[in-house]
A and B are shown apart, each in its own frame.
Chain A
Amino acid sequence: MKKYVLLLAICSSISIYSQSSTKAEKTKGRLFGGLESNSQWYLNDVEREINHPDQPIRSNNYLLINYNYGKWTAGIQGESYAPKSLLNFNPKYEKTNLSTYYLNYKSDKIDVTAGYFYEQFGSGLLLRSWEDRSLGINNSIRGGKIVLRPTENLSLTGLYGNQRTGFDVGKGIIYGFNSDINLSGIFEMEKSDISVGFSYVGREEKTTMENPNFKELTNSFSGRFNFSHQAFYFNSEYNYKSEDAILYPITISNTFVKPGSALLTNFGYTKKGVGLDVTLRRIENMNFLSERNPEVFSPEQTSLAFNDRMMNFVPSLTKQHHSNLANIYVFQAQKSVSIVSDNGIAKAGEIGGQIDFFYEFKKGSSLGGKYGTKIAVNASNWFNLKGDYTLFPPDYNTDFFASGKKYFSDYNLEITKKFNPDLQGSVVIINQYYDHQLIAASLNIQVNSFIIAPEISYKITPTKSIKIAVEHMWANSDRKNWAALMVEYTNNINWSFYVSDMYNYGFDKNSNLIDDVSDHFKIHFYNLGTAYTKGSTRIALSYGRQRGGLVCAGGICRFVPPSSGIGLSLTKSF
């Protein structure tokens, strides 16, 4: 109750400030922030044999308030998970509390923050702290950060702190240093761009282990190089993490101590109408947590499932499809070592690559037609690291440039075409291979799927439009066939409505299924909803069924249990 009063007090003080905001220009003081609320009313679903949880109405709420005066900015974020957080969020998100706060001074050459801050070094393979509310990730660091930019071409960052977990911070201390140097600027090169960067990230955590075979301070280093010349570009970075104890399976082992590394190379060629991009990556033992041992919430659940105290960001480098069916068998980057003696799974990372090709057939050409035609081709392949693996005692020795068994592949083509000013269409064709046994270290199921997804959008009047998307997936195992339909009607910039259904059929409920518990019948996952937007406000209401499985953003995923119910979300910035 005290917290509500506190929150109310904060709110009322803001409202006073913001009402005088028209005068703010004179004083240069400025109040800004945002509000986000995601609520769900879970219902019983007799057909699915789902009973709603003990608290059927649940809500995640976030309020961020910042105040800026000249070069100074301060902010606080409050979060409320009341009466409980949405299903399967980190159990440490409980009740209502102040979650982050900061004070920042920023000028052209110096940027200093005390309190909670977000930061990413390079591509984030050693350090990334960020917030993703849909995944329940907020791994901001509480401490201090300073960024110096003595010249246009040099940027230096130093930081220190502990990582946020729930409404608290973890025990591990993080030290970081980063530099970005723009060589082409320093040497006044006009035709090419060359830059380099170096990072150091240290994580120090006391251990209770007697005679540990690893140091309490784990050091990691990264060097990167970016080059571009006219239409051609090339970037590469190498990351190394010093020897540290590995989780086996969910607690660290004093006899399983190894270093980690990551190599990322990207190059391409791009000019108007054409783009070609190639990314290659090798990851070995790059699970990097600010506390070595995850927190155990129940025998089946640890903080690892909630991406808690994760220091780095190892995204899966595959195309992020907007097709619903293409997100059923979704790849998660294999950054960790996993040796499971029960089923013989042994993996130490991943190696593979992704190619993207974009091309526009010109207007007036035979394939371009009157309005032009755009194509996008994408292919990705990811494999286990080849090497010698020992199940017991756990050990491995990998080859550097060699691939083992395939985890996942995705080959896809997307064609977009405008037929006339009011009618536009696209079609996506996707082939995916997903080895569930190897990726999830679980049941021996491999899925090969083929998806076709055409879509048209038609402008009825200048403001009203309708979009119809149809999808079908044929899969050779697990839940086999899926058909999906989505119809979206936009009345104007403020109002839109949608109905959708995903129908799963043709599978044998006695066969090996990835989810061997829920929804073992031909099932419709229907949904309908509406959204109202005005200015920065958006209110969305939906009703329907949620398939159990992974919800992913940026290649990081959260498992959501099967559910049915009503959802209400509200966002507003001010």
Chain B
Amino acid sequence: MKKSLLILFTLLNFIVYSQNQLPNVKLKNLKGELVNSNLDFQKKDVIYVYSFWATWCAPCVQELDAISEVYGDWKQKINIEIIAVSVDDSRTEKRVKPMVNGKGWEYTVLLDTNQEFKRSLSIANVPYTVVVKNNIIVYVQNSHSPGGESEFFDKLKSL
């Protein structure tokens, strides 16, 4: 037990950020078209915000709702595109489209039904946000704080 803990901590100390590029996985969008998670989002200087969420994850929905309110303003101020990656499996996948529309979200939505994209980034829990600019991962956020949108926007502006 002690040994395995020791190994874990040794490992943690050694590891630095090495995943500086987003893996490319083919995922369906809400129209059923295949989209490349990385290759189709590579416009120069655009800030791509990949927000991993699920219909059953209350903080995720709260976060996307809150950003939805200010998304129009953000788009006027910075060159940004939000990609809401749903990790709903086939239990709840069918609720994604009516929920996205019902809530009036204007995000690009990708369906990661068997969690291939989520697994390739070793994401344990949602909400989880990965920000990519010029094909490099520039910021990762692994939680949501209610009302944290303005702090997050300041962060995005600084990138």
Given contacts A538-B124, A573-B121, contact A492 B101 (CB under 8 A): no
State A32–B3 Cα separation when bound (angstroms). 24
Question: How far is the CB of B128 from the nearest CB of chain A, in Å?
Answer: 8
B91 within 8 A of partner (CB)? yes
A272 CB contacts on chain B under 8 angstroms: 101, 104
B113 CB contacts on chain A under 8 angstroms: 120
State A106–B152 Cα separation when bound (angstroms). 34
Given contacts A61-B8, A228-B31, A571-B124, contact A356 B98 (CB under 8 A): yes
CB-nearest residue of chain B relative to A12? B14
A254 within 8 A of partner (CB)? no
B99 CB contacts on chain A under 8 angstroms: 275, 356, 358, 376
Which segment, of B41-49, B73-81, B139-147, faces chain A?
A: B139-147
State A24–B20 Cα separation when bound (angstroms). 9
B103 within 8 A of partner (CB)? yes
A486-515 interface (Cβ within 8 A of B): 490, 492-493, 496
**A356 touching B15 by the CB < 8 A rule?**
no
**B101 touching A131 by the CB < 8 A rule?**
no
**B98 touching A228 by the CB < 8 A rule?**
no
**B56 touching A459 by the CB < 8 A rule?**
no
A299 within 8 A of partner (CB)? no
CB-nearest residue of chain A relative to B122? A34
A13-47 interface (Cβ within 8 A of B): 14-15, 17-19, 21, 24-25, 30-37
**B31 touching A193 by the CB < 8 A rule?**
yes
Given contacts A4-B3, A574-B15, A574-B17, contact A554 B124 (CB under 8 A): no
B115 CB contacts on chain A under 8 angstroms: 118, 130-131
Which segment, of A245-253, A312-320, A429-437, faces chain B?
A: A312-320
A169 within 8 A of partner (CB)? no
**A19 touching B98 by the CB < 8 A rule?**
no
Which segment, of A159-167, A400-408, A529-537, faces chain B?
A: A529-537
B58 CB contacts on chain A under 8 angstroms: 322
B158 within 8 A of partner (CB)? no
**B8 touching A570 by the CB < 8 A rule?**
yes
A424 CB contacts on chain B under 8 angstroms: 62, 146
Given contacts A4-B3, A322-B56, A574-B19, contact A459 B147 (CB under 8 A): yes
Which segment, of A212-220, A342-350, A462-470, faces chain B?
A: A462-470
The 4 closest A-B pairs by CB, nearest first: A34-B122, A358-B102, A275-B98, A15-B14
Given contacts A59-B1, A82-B4, A554-B89, 8 further A-B contacts (CB under 8 A): A14-B11, A35-B12, A118-B114, A152-B34, A270-B101, A319-B56, A533-B142, A574-B19
Q: Which residues of B contact A (CB under 8 A)?
A: 1, 3-5, 7-8, 10-12, 14-21, 23-24, 26, 31-34, 55-58, 62, 65, 89-95, 97-104, 113-116, 119-125, 140-143, 145-148, 150-152
Contact sample, A vs B, 24 pairs, CB 8 Å cutoff: A15-B15, A17-B18, A18-B14, A30-B18, A32-B23, A34-B121, A34-B122, A82-B3, A118-B115, A124-B114, A228-B32, A268-B94, A275-B100, A275-B101, A277-B97, A359-B102, A424-B146, A490-B148, A496-B143, A536-B140, A538-B125, A538-B143, A574-B19, A574-B122
